[in-house]
Structure 1
Amino acid sequence: MSDSPLAPSCREQATTRWTGATVAGGHRFGRFVAVLGLFICQVAMAAQQDDAPSASPNQASAGLRLYRDGLLPGGARLSGLGAGAATVTTPCAGCHRDSGMGGGEGNQRVAPITAADLFQAPAGLARPAAGDRLPRERSGATVQPGRRLSRPGYDLKTLARALRTGVDAAGRPLDALMPRYTQLDDAAVQTLADHLATLHTDAAPGWTQAGAGATQGELHLTTIVTPDAAPLRVRALLESLHAWQAQHQSPRVRLRPVLQVWRLEGAPADWPAQLATWQARQPVFAVLSGAAGASSESWRPVQDWCEREALPCLLPLVDTPPEDAAAAPPARWTLHGSTGSRMEAQALAVLLRQSPVNGRLTQWFDDTTGARAAGLLEAALTRPDDHDHDHDNDNDNDNDNDQDQDHHDHAVEGRAAGQTEPVDAAAALARWCTLGEADTLVIWSGPAVLAALDQALDQAPATPVTPTTADCTGPGRVYLSASRLGHRPPRAPAWQHRARLVSTEVDDQRLHARTAIALQPWARRSGLDLFDEREQAKVHAATSWFTEALARMQGRVGRDYLMESLERTLDNRALAGPWLSVSLGPGQRTAVKSAQILHLDGSAASRRWRAHGQAIRP
């Protein structure tokens, strides 16, 4: 069976519209209107692809282990010969990816091997001539004019030959980078073919075509709000998402996004059942952004549910995402912008190891999120430094950077400021006054501690807590966590000059310059009020990157493929919403890899955080 008659026109549209296209500032929404139309066309094509081998659930499971993990049906490790007769044990998914859609890097292109691509003759896609360079387009289009690739569809016999000897279905040699699996028997080939037959043969949940012959369809999405999410965060989320959705309701849009809002209620233990009910009522293709509370555990029930359901959960507004459980595999379906206080602790550890503290290093925290960050910093400071990091030192630190001091001997005191209870002004100031000029304080507590210190230090001359206020010098340097406290500077002049902010995001000046490029013009067109640029920039980035990832997919349906397309979309991206920069490698699920130190600049009445040195990459 040949490809559907729809296939050539679908792919021709994809190549014509998207080759060389760029998305200004992450979103040229007029382009998205055209690209969404391709999805219905491709879904119709996939529905006619019924000649590929079918598989039972048990066969598919064995095929998945072979394809993704490199485990043969008998349990042995898959092994082949690569270029130069080198032994290769990389599983198929290592290059062709979980979706089977392959990809490319530089001059190398890995072909898709889904059932639609492998077991049927290609529909006239161009293959570059020998020596031609494959362009690495931001649009995701990698096809350029060249000689036509013509071959029959594979069957089990020709597939076995290709795997064992490197000869394709037309009798031509495959690329030398494709390993030769000379020991692969017929049973293993059948097992692998069974799994390949399951890749992209059906539309994914959440993709709805209006009916036979219809020209429109719907892309069902949701966003999730936890009960403890701050009201302003929820407002930033919903207003931005609804504005994005409204821009894609034109009659010309063939696949319109339909956004649901799932507001969780009650105890976290009840949330999975609520999520399952909503998903059963109307399946969604992905969770787009979301809003959680300040605790790193606030999003955990949602993230665990997304992982169990194999549901993409993209860039929620979470200060510090939950850590992967020790015995659980890393998150595969949840994409976060930053690890929050964990990245801050790692970056601060790099700085403090290079500029050791003369006196005591004291850490305050008031909940489990802060306690974990304090523990991570303490562990990083007490283990041997076995590699270098990219960083700039905090040159305002009063310590001598050249001193020969053993930083392993520093006293690291984890001080629970009121445990999980609010810290009042008297308690904060009393603890502050136990520290001296040579000491360093790291505050992992929430906004209550910052407010308490501001109040206490403003009142200190009138409310002494030591025999004389002169005895209360306080620490010489104070590091604050942006993920715990936000970017609001301390109000009390008594400690503004000592404060430093550790953040994975740019300072206010750079943020405003960035939003002037994309967010502000989009907000004006949408009639959207900008009241919290940081939060709104994150949602804007999520919708923009999601839009671009869909364009890269060129009408191919699949949740795996969406995650892989997002990896390419976020590859070394300079303009990254409020974050310093973002980058994703294959399988990575956290985009930000660095943090920086900010100091206060400006007059006492209008101080703002400003970058202090280069980004630190742990």
Structure 2
Amino acid sequence: MRPGKLISSITAAVLLAAASAMAPAANPPPAPAVDATAHPAAPSTESRIEAGRRMYLEGVLPSGEMITARVRNDVTVGGDFAICGTCHRRSGLGSSEGSQVIPAIAGDRLFNPLRLPTRNLPLAPQQRPAYNMETLKRAIRSGVDANGELLDPLMPRYALDDDQIELLIDYLKTVSVEISPGVDERDIHFATIIAGPVAPEIRKALVDVMQVYVEQKNSETRHESKRAQDAPWHKEWLFSPYRKWVMHVWELTGAPETWPAQLERYYRQQPVFAVLSGVANGPWQPVHRFCEQTELPCLFPTTDLPVIAEQDFYPIYLSKGMALEGQLVNRHRLDDGQVNRPLVQVYRADDQRAKAAAEAIRQERGVRTVVWHPGEGQPGTEFWRQVLDEAEDGHLTLWLSQADVDTLWPVLEQNGGPDRIYLSSSLYGDNTDGVPPSLRDRLLFIHINELPSRLSRLLLRSTGWLRVKHIYAPKAREVQANAYFALKVAGDALTHIRGYFFRDYFIERIEHTVDSVPYTSVYPRISLAPGQRFAAKGGYIARLSPVPNPALVAVTEWITP
């Protein structure tokens, strides 16, 4: 099937079938009054396509006013409820929620008859005739479709003038028309990104997963290429979308400021459909910005420093990383009725991860921040005494490595100190042998993955596959588990989009289906919804179990800030 023929696949047909409710429109409700003078045409400096895009995705009229509409005859709505893209989605290919199906409206779909596929040649029965501009304006204003039947009551009725509707249609005609870069007749290209000086064993562990998974994906155990080439007409929609996967490894070296140029070179050499997984020793921000500007899906990298920009569309993360740890400290104190007590947090100025955690709660009430500068070596006795004085009658949070924190224990044993000390599992690590038994009851660990005692069971699926393929790397377990998750989610989404190789639709299917995946990587709970960009949203507060074999034991359920 050629890309241009993908438009007629069964997926869009089924979505469009829900455009009409079956109640006859003998006496449709009156359309909202249109005041043309109140809605001036788009300014000459703004293109019609851009004006239509703002209407569709942002709900902003060319005049700068927000769009309002009416649902169920008399309820006025605005904001997200009146934005077309909220329901019909960025791709214009619609969605569903329970029994409610939102039809596809992108490209020329509305201006062609709706026909459902059938086994009976030569032509499928018509479900509704094609819209023309007049019937489409009627549908938008009065909720009456091309058959003269009422649309669903939840479909807003808009008080738009002719020019505003035409701006909207001009934009929709450009949406989801040409398949996205990175896909051709035979192959679909992906990349994984290794950013910064990543340890060789971590790099190898990641690349092994990506390459071996793709080799297995392309093994054609069901003769997929032949079936795609010779598909019978009634199964063409099922077999023709098959593509072989091609995985590229984009390695970024040097200063992060140089990474955007390196990414541009990689992308020019071979555009990819999406970036899958990846790992960074340093900030992910340059990669995030490149993907957002290029409109390139960037899915589930392993990074403690994601970019928290919920308005961005194309990067999707596993969690908020270190920022989430900071938020969990504040949430736990709030839930525990301790938020009014002072909190002193300490981090090293040269540690980006620690700084991200501290910045997440720096502005919270009662929080004081102490920065240890790297030129001063490890914290000494005098430094810790000053910190303990500040934390008197309060709590202490240490965004520090084990080597730094261990210098506190002798001072704490001699001088008392706060009754609650939060430590980051990500920074301190899982070796707690150096903690004096007399201090264990004071320590609370912020832990955003599954607890170590439960992690092996959670990772049975990925670990079993990795062992069978002889590529399991225990020291890189999280990186490999996250990569396997990203690959599985991408594969499932490609199955659902059935040849509609549009990046926006690909992301929308991931948002819609990730809640039901059977494998959640190192996180016990994941979920996404339209517009959400972090799959794991919570963590545990844990403490050490009694000696002689201390282990992390949760003192809270999985909590979210």
Deviation at 1:528, TM superposition (A): 2.3
Give the total of aligned pairs. Answer: 496
Deviation at 1:12, TM superposition (A): 8.4
TM-score normalised according to structure 1 size: 0.73
Please give the per-residue CA displacement for 1:567-616, whole angstroms capped at 9, x wherever unaligned. Answer: 11223768522113112221111112222112223643x43322222122
Deviation at 1:116, TM superposition (A): 5.0
Identity %: 31
- In structure 1, stretches of 5+ residues that fail to align are 16-56, 127-146, 210-216, 383-407
**Residue from 87, 103, 107 that aligns with 1:115:** 107
Tell me: CA distance 1:420–1:362, structure 2 relative to 1, closer, same or farther (3 Å).
farther
Deviation at 1:357, TM superposition (A): 7.8
- In structure 2, stretches of 5+ residues that fail to align are 15-45, 119-123, 225-241
In 2, the alpha carbon distance for the partners of 1:120 and 1:358 equals 63
Structure possessing the higher relative contact order (Cα contacts under 8 Å, 6 or more residues apart):
1
Tell me: CA distance 1:13–1:300, structure 2 relative to 1, closer, same or farther (3 Å).
closer
In 1, the alpha carbon distance for the partners of 2:348 and 2:208 equals 32
Please give the per-residue CA displacement for 1:360-408, whole angstroms capped at 9, x wherever unaligned. Answer: 633110135423433433433x1xxxxxxxxxxxxxxxxxxxxxxxxx5
In 2, the alpha carbon distance for the partners of 1:420 and 1:370 equals 17
Q: Equivalent residue for 1:102?
A: 94
**Residue from 418, 433, 437 that aligns with 2:373:** 418
- Superposition map of 1:157-556 within 5 A: 157-181=134-158, 183-209=159-185, 217-251=186-220, 252-253=223-224, 254-293=242-281, 295=282, 298-324=283-309, 330-353=311-334, 354-356=336-338, 361-367=343-349, 368-380=352-364, 382=365, 412-419=367-374, 423=378, 440-445=395-400, 447=401, 450-454=402-406, 457=409, 471-473=414-416, 475-489=418-432, 491-494=434-437, 495-516=439-460, 518-531=461-474, 532-556=476-500
Q: Does the 8 Å contact 1:79/1:88 carry over to 2?
A: yes
Tell me: CA distance 1:427–1:225, structure 2 relative to 1, closer, same or farther (3 Å).
farther
Please give the per-residue CA displacement for 1:224-273, whole angstroms capped at 9, x wherever unaligned. Answer: 11113344443332222122212111243431111111111222221111
SS in 2 for 1:150: strand
Amino acid at match of 2:395: T
Q: Does the 8 Å contact 1:553/1:561 carry over to 2?
A: yes
Amino acid at match of 1:568: H
Please give the per-residue CA displacement for 1:312-358, whole angstroms capped at 9, x wherever unaligned. Answer: 1111110131344xxxx832211111112222222211222324289
Q: Is 1:150 paired with 2:127? A: yes
Q: Equivalent residue for 2:525?
A: 581
Tell me: CA distance 1:308–1:12, structure 2 relative to 1, closer, same or farther (3 Å).
closer
Q: Does the 8 Å contact 2:115/2:125 carry over to 1?
A: no
Superposed CA RMSD in Å reads 3.2
Q: Equivalent residue for 2:42?
A: none
Tell me: CA distance 1:609–1:235, structure 2 relative to 1, closer, same or farther (3 Å).
farther
In 1, the alpha carbon distance for the partners of 2:376 and 2:311 equals 32
Amino acid at match of 1:155: N
Q: Does the 8 Å contact 2:493/2:510 carry over to 1?
A: yes
Q: Equivalent residue for 2:50?
A: 61
SS in 2 for 1:154: coil
Q: Does the 8 Å contact 1:437/1:473 carry over to 2?
A: no
In 1, the alpha carbon distance for the partners of 2:67 and 2:430 equals 51
Q: Is 1:601 paired with 2:545? A: yes
Q: Is 1:11 paired with 2:14? A: no
Deviation at 1:206, TM superposition (A): 0.4
Amino acid at match of 2:243: L
Amino acid at match of 2:369: G
SS in 1 for 2:346: strand
Amino acid at match of 2:179: A
Q: Equivalent residue for 1:29?
A: none
Q: Does the 8 Å contact 1:166/1:178 carry over to 2?
A: yes
